[in-house]
Amino acid sequence: MKNNDNFFLRNIWYYALPSNQIKPGMMVSRIFLGEPVLLIRDRDGKVSAMTDICPHRAVPLSCGRFDGQEVECCYHGWRFNSGGRCTAIPSLVEEQKMDLSRFDVQSYAVREMQGNIWIYMPDRDRPQPPEMDIPVIPGFDEQPPQFVEVMRFPCFIDHAVVGLMDPAHSPYVHQSWWWRNQQLHEEVKQFDASPYGFTIPRHRLPANGGRLYWLIGGGVPEIEISFRLPGVRVEQSTIGKHRVVNLTTVTPISDTETEVTFSIYSTLRWVGFFKPLLHVLAQTFLGQDRTVVEKQQIGLKYNPVLRLIKDSDMQAQWYYQLKREYARSLAEGREFVNPVKSQILRWRA
């Protein structure tokens, strides 16, 4: 596979940031898909987003002030409401009537649910979000995650997504006693198509499937894993009467940087007490993935052909197929057709 698939998927919802990172009256400046975005939460708790550049002299609006209702540029005091609408230009005198809508900045659709903020990143000709729903963790209503870890990867989004879903790298990248048995063995998994992605249906792990799960719940869990565009992985583990759900999201910052957010939802009350330990485990695990991605960038500079194989690389191939099909379906004005077909995959890991 040649690296001609390196394009940002647009007209889709991306994970923006955890809800607790922006309090009422706050503004947060971020970069998504190479675009500067200002997120604000007004006095009533509603989150909005707009381009983080003043249209007057290009000073970031985040350098200014936010009174809980409007953003004021620090250079000349131009003000903008939560929808990006220009509401005031202080230098105008009374008789200088001007259509302020000429100076509006782009706004972005955002949604907040279960302690997560999602942002819709459109093309210019598609400002309104599609009917695609944002991911929801079933059974947790509006409960926020009990644990969140965020890490930047120095790579294009595709390599972060493919690396995190790769089933054959664990024995070589994740050298940790608490993760799983390092001895190679055959894996056999059923895969089915699911909305904008694919799913490994609920199945029971073998007794030696992972020491970490014994620490979590004292038994062997049943697990369901799903992936969907643009880079959302949900792993649901049922351990007796308890559930633990890992939400992993991948958000592109630029062509060379990607943000990975790992969240845990659980019915286990003690999870919050072990946040320091979970932080160490998550930092170690994600850090191992980041380290190998850093090494990968050395070879990618030469734009080599990436030779993916069956069956262990099938998820990577599906990701690229899903991405291309989503972009084509929008360009052609037709419904998305999932290219994934139900099948059993086998690999050694």
Kindly report, residue by residue over 283-336, the tens digit of the pLDDT: 999 999 999 999 999 999 999 999 999 999 999 999 999 999 999 999 898 999
Strand partners, 218: none
Tell me how long the chain is: 349
Task: For residue 39, tell me if it sits in a domain.
Answer: yes
Residue 316's pLDDT is 97
Query: 């706004």: which residue's tokens?
Result: 107
Nearest to 213 by CA among 182, 184, 236: 236
131 within some domain: no
Query: What is the separation, in whole angstroms, between the first and last Cα of the chain?
Result: 23
Structure tokens at 70: 């409007």
- Asked if 164 and 83 sit in the same domain, the reply is no
What is the predicted pLDDT for the residue at 227? 97
Percent of the chain with pLDDT over 70: 91
Domain that holds residue 300: 147-348
The residues that bridge with 90 in the sheet, in sequence order, are none
Residue spans of alpha helices (H) in the chain:
157-165, 170-173, 211-217, 275-300, 314-331
- How sure is the predictor about 3, in pLDDT bands with cuts at 50, 70 and 90? low
d(CA 14, CA 121): 7
Q: State yes or no: pLDDT of 176 exceeds 70.
A: no
Q: Are residues 183 and 316 in the same domain?
A: yes
Residues 202 and 332 in one domain: yes
Q: How far apart are CA 46 and CA 138, in angstroms?
A: 23
Mean pLDDT of 115-121: 97
Confidence of residue 8 (pLDDT cuts 50, 70, 90): very high
Is residue 128 in some structural domain? no
Q: What is the pTM of this model?
A: 0.92
Closest residue by Cα to residue 7 from 300, 348, 324: 324
Count of domains observed in the chain: 2
Q: Mean pLDDT across the chain, nearest whole number? A: 91
CATH of the domain at 184: 3.90.380.10
Query: Does 34 score more than 60 pLDDT?
Result: yes
The number of CA neighbours under 13 Å toward the Cβ of 151 is 23
Q: What is the pLDDT of residue 174?
A: 85
Residue at which a domain ends, from 72, 87, 121: 121
- The contacts found for 132-137 with CB under 8 angstroms, 24 or more apart, are 132/12, 132/13, 132/195, 132/196, 134/13, 135/228, 135/232, 135/234, 135/247, 137/234, 137/245, 137/247, 137/265
For residue 246, tell me if it sits in a domain: yes
Are the beta carbons of 345 and 199 closer than 8 angstroms? no
pLDDT at 94: 86
> Do 189 and 303 belong to one domain?
yes
Confidence of residue 7 (pLDDT cuts 50, 70, 90): very high
- The C-alpha R_g of the chain, in whole angstroms, comes to 22
Biggest alpha carbon–alpha carbon distance for the chain: 80
Q: Within this chain, do residues 323 and 216 fall inside the same structural domain, yes or no?
A: yes
186 part of a folded domain = yes
Q: Do 109 and 151 belong together in one domain?
A: no
Q: Are 308 and 169 in the same domain?
A: yes
CATH code of the domain covering residue 20: 2.102.10.10
Confidence of residue 128 (pLDDT cuts 50, 70, 90): low
With beta carbons less than 8 A apart as the criterion, state whether 155 and 161 touch. no
Residues 207 and 112 both lie in one domain: no
CA distance 18 to 22: 8
Residue with tokens 């050395």: 298
Q: What is the pLDDT of residue 65?
A: 98
Rounded Cα distance between 159 and 19, Å, is 26
pLDDT band at 151 (very low <50, low <70, confident <90, very high): very high
- Those residues whose C-beta lies under 8 Å from the C-beta of residue 263, and which sit 6 or more positions away, are 18, 115, 116, 145, 147, 148, 149, 246, 247, 248, 249
Distance between CA 45 and CA 156 in Å, rounded? 33
Residue with tokens 């049922």: 238
Same-domain check for residues 161 and 33: no
When comparing pLDDT for 133 and 205, which is higher? 133
Residue 183 forms part of a structural domain: yes
Q: Are β-strands 232-239 and 222-228 bridged in parallel, bridged antiparallel, or unpaired?
A: antiparallel
**pLDDT at residue 141, rounded to an integer:** 87
Per DSSP, the chain holds a count of helices (H) and strands (E) of 5, 19
